Amino acid sequence: AKITFIQHNGTEQTVDGQAGMTVMETAVKNMVPGIDADCGGACACATCHVYVEPGWLEKTGPRNPMEEDMLDFAFDVRDESRLSCQIKVSDVLDGLRVRVPEKQF
């Protein structure tokens, strides 16, 4: 599945995400800047925070309760905020666009 990461300055990077991997792992593997993922995907750091672009929120699904708690620690949380380690890549998400926040924390 193709996933596009949009940086705060508008730079876009489209990478190939493997089904079963998380969006965070996809970003790290492709060295997408701005996804720190300090905890390695354990939903314990909130430095993999992204904004899901309009139109994709339904497909990425709702936040899970642990993620909800962790997002309290993220910078500039919005309705479309997700922790990218909690979004699993699948064919349904082919074309997904997420925005990287200005900073993590």
Per rule CB under 6 A, count of chain residues that contact ligand FES = 15
**Contact pattern from residue 75 through residue 104 relative to ligand FES, giving x for each residue in contact according to CB under 6 A and a dash for the rest:** --------x-x-------------------
Please identify which residue in the block is written with the tokens 């994709």.
56
Type of residue found at 94: D
- The two tokens of residue 13 are 């990077």
Residue 39 found at the interface with ligand FES (CB under 6 A): yes
DSSP annotation of 23 reads H
Within 1-105, where are the H helices?
23-29, 57-60, 65-71
71 binding ligand FES? (CB under 6 A)? no
Residue ranges in contact with ligand FES by CB under 6 A: 24, 37-39, 41-48, 70, 83, 85
